[in-house]
Amino acid sequence: MSDAREADLLKVIETQQRHLEEQARELERKTRELEQQALEIKLLRQKLDVLARRIFGKSSEKLDRNQLELLLKLQGEEELTPGKSQASSDCDEEADPEHLRKKKRPFGRKERWPEDLPVIEQVIDPKEVKERPEAWRLIGEEVSEQLDYEPARFFRRRLIRRKYVARHQVDAVPVIAPLPPVLQERCIAGPGLLAQIVVAKFADHLPLYRQQGIFESRFRVILSRQNMARWMGLVADWLKPIYDIIRTGVMGGGYVQVDETPIRYLEPGHGQAKLGYLWTALRPDCLGQAEVFYHWETGRSAACLERIIPIDFKGTLQCDAYSAYDSFARRRPTGFITLAGCWAHARRGFFEAREQAPQQVFFILRQIRNLYHVEARLRRQKAGPALRLARRAAQSRPIYRRLYKVLLKLKGSGRYLPSTAFAKAIDYALGNWEALGVYLENGKVEICNNLVENAIRPTAIGKKNFLFIGEAAAGERSAILYTIIENCRRHAVDPFAYLRDVLTRLPSMTNWQLKDVTPEAWAKEQRNPRLAKAA
């Protein structure tokens, strides 16, 4: 019996041990699950914080310089850098004090107006002088000025063409002057009205239904939205050759920045608005006179770039890290397309991860800030490509190499999980490192493509008011009109005056004369009295 009891006890003990081992394994599994869930919760909270800052926070990515210095003192730079050289910090020590000094905005804003503003004089005499003017002698005057405004007005332009017959030839055919060339026969809209509708929609971002309400309530003029929409198509068709000239000029410089922005459009039978894209291409200029054009596509694949970039284009294409650009460049012959990266996109990833690894992130941001300081000084000096290339080789390249060593060290440390924002920012920068260094090899290339992103802003304001484009075909017309308006702004041209003049002259112009009415050529003509008089 004792042997049987011992055997039973051993079985019970073994069963309990297996049960305890299973419980331990289950506890270990639950612990791993809890750790994984805690990590996922942490990552989701970080993503929610980033989204909340994007939606409700400040859009500026500026950092306090004192905060940078404090965090870098808490953790020495030696811990971040594999070897600090004097040449690598030259740019930081030589930072321009005027650039770093915060500019004080003057209290209020001083009103200004052009000197050639029309003046309407109103003379006010005393009552006694009006009653007996011969009894008074003028000895001086007091002058005071006000800035006044007269709202726009509608008027009917009536063309009267008189018919004549010869006095001595009774049977002769009557003669009458021909109608001046117009955009479209029997169209009730004149060039001034068409120009006003285009400017109100694409420069002032007023949808057609708002313009319809303004015309009806303030001027008692009723214009249907359908007619105004058709007139926009008419204007776009006439301006298309000028748009093509601008597009050829942008793509003819061998260097262009490209970006895209989504905008919805209506598709009959689809049931809801679909997503299209307004592509923007800009040719930067060292003197700041960049030209831009917009292109409408219903997608954002590499095939869209084939229709935007000419087949004979050879040069540098600056863009973000979207895979369509790399796919497009691979389709062209080797050496035709060089992709240049954008430091603003690389910096943004680190900026959004600043709360995960503050010391490391702020050190990286300070180095990127030094790169931008070099560009700011070159911009103030209006440096040409040769000087920019030399200055970048002496000051920017050491920082570029130092950053690469720092990022490799941080990536190899294993302290940051691949799913964290900081690790993703490091991977983004290292994955595009060769493209980020293209601007160091070409003095024409900018450090980032912020210029083309700034050109997108007017369209972003418009789509918030419009909500969507009427149809896919309307996207192309919008791209043409946005191109004309934006280039007018860049050349300091009043878009209404430009459109009114050009829409009046276009019907009687030849294709060879179109190059003389681009916004750039029109601005030069207006500044040169001789050319304006000859025209």
Q: Report yes or no on 259 lying in a domain.
A: yes
Q: How far is residue 74's CA from residue 314's CA, in Å, rounded to a whole number?
A: 49
Residue 374 CA, distance from chain mean position: 23
Q: How confident is the model at residue 37, as a pLDDT?
A: 81
Q: Domain boundary at 409, 443, 477, which?
A: 443
Alpha-carbon distance 205 to 467, whole Å? 11
Task: Please tell me whether residues 370 and 397 are part of one structural domain.
Answer: yes
Contact call for residues 299 and 472 (beta carbons, < 8 A):
no
Which tens digit of pLDDT belongs to each residue from 12-32? Answer: 788 888 888 888 888 888 888
Residue 85: its pLDDT value, please?
45
What is the DSSP code (8-state) at residue 208?
A: H
**Residue type, position 471, single letter:** E
Q: Are residues 321 and 462 in the same domain?
A: yes
Q: Would residue 134 count as lying in a domain?
A: no
**Structure token digits, residue 133:** 């003017």
Tokens standing for residue 398: 């050491």
Q: How many domains does one find in the chain?
A: 2
- Per the domain annotation, does 514 fall within a domain? no
Are 233 and 325 part of one and the same domain? yes
The DSSP call for residue 106 is P
Strand 274-283 and strand 291-297: pairing?
antiparallel
Distances (CA, A) of 393 to 165, 388, 437: 81, 9, 11
Q: Are residues 420 and 468 in the same domain?
A: no
User: How do beta strands 255-265 and 315-318 pair?
Assistant: parallel
The pLDDT assigned to 282 comes to 94
- Residue 36 counted as domain residue: no
More confident residue, 469 or 445: 445
Whether residues 328 and 355 share a domain: the answer is no
- Claim to verify: residue 318 and residue 458 sit in the same structural domain: yes
Does 171 map to a domain? no
Q: What is the pLDDT of residue 494?
A: 93
Three-class HEC string of 5-65: HHHHHHHHHHHHHHHHHHHHHHHHHHHHHHHHHHHHHHHHHHHHHHHHHHHHCCCCCCCCH
* Alpha-carbon gap, residue 288 to 299, rounded angstroms: 31
Residue 479 within a domain: yes
Q: What percent of the chain has pLDDT over 90?
A: 46
The answer to the question of residue 363 being in a domain is yes
Task: Report the alpha-carbon angle 282-327-261, nearest 5.
Answer: 40
Closest to 343 in 3D by CA, of 410, 396, 418: 396
142: left (phi over 0), alpha (psi -120 to 50) or beta: beta
Q: 326 and 216, same structural domain?
A: yes
Inter-residue contact 183 to 194 (CB < 8 Å):
yes
> CA dihedral in degrees (31, 35, 41, 42; nearest 10)?
150
The answer to whether residues 356 and 422 touch, using CB atoms and an 8 Å cutoff, is yes
- 3-state secondary structure string across 118-157: CCCCCCCCCHHHHHCHHHCCCCCCCCCCCCCCCCCCCCCC
Separation of alpha carbons 197 and 499, rounded Å: 11
Using a cut of 0.85, tell me whether the model's pTM lies above it: no
Indicate if 308 and 415 belong to the same structural domain. Answer: no
Instruction: Indicate whether 36 pLDDT > 90.
Output: no
Q: Which domain holds residue 465?
A: 205-341+449-490
pLDDT tens sequence across 206-264: 999 999 999 999 999 999 999 999 999 999 999 999 999 999 999 988 999 999 999 88
Domain end among 457, 472, 490: 490
User: Which pLDDT score is estimated for 432?
Assistant: 93
Q: How far is CA 177 from the centre of its chain?
A: 49
Q: Which two tokens stand for residue 16?
A: 């309990």
Separation of alpha carbons 463 and 480, rounded Å: 15
310 and 291 co-located in one domain: yes
Dist CA 215 CA 207 (whole Å)? 13
- 262 and 301 in a single domain? The answer is yes
With a cut of 90, say whether residue 526 has pLDDT above it.
no
Q: Of the ranges 149-153, 193-197, 388-392, which one carries the lowest mean pLDDT score?
A: 149-153
DSSP state of 287: T
Which of 111-115, 134-138, 459-463 is predicted most confidently?
134-138
pLDDT given at position 470? 76
- Burial environment of residue 358 by CB neighbours within 10 A (0 to 12, 13 to 18, 19 or more): middle
Listing DSSP states for 420-483 in one string gives SHHHHHHHHHHHTHHHHTGGGT-TTS-SS-HHHHHHHHHHHHHHHHH-SBSSHHHHHHHHHHHH
Encoded amino acid at 363, one letter: F
Residue 103 DSSP code: P
Residue 295 falls within a domain, yes or no? yes
Q: Are residues 311 and 380 in the same domain?
A: no
> What pLDDT, on the 0 to 100 scale, is given for residue 368?
94
Domain shared by 218 and 285, yes or no = yes
Where a domain ends, among 443, 466, 500?
443
C-alpha dist (Å) from residue 352 to 48, 212, 321, 363, 415: 11, 44, 17, 14, 18
Distance of CA 298 to the CA centre of its chain: 19
Using the CB atoms, write b or e for 332-353: b if 16+ within 10 Å: beeeebbbbbbbbbbbebbbbb
429 token code pair? 């920068």
The predicted-structure confidence for 92-105, as pLDDT tens digits, reads as follows 544 444 444 555 55
The pair of structure tokens assigned to 396 is 């920017």
Find the length of the chain.
535
Tell me what the pLDDT averaged over the chain comes to. 84
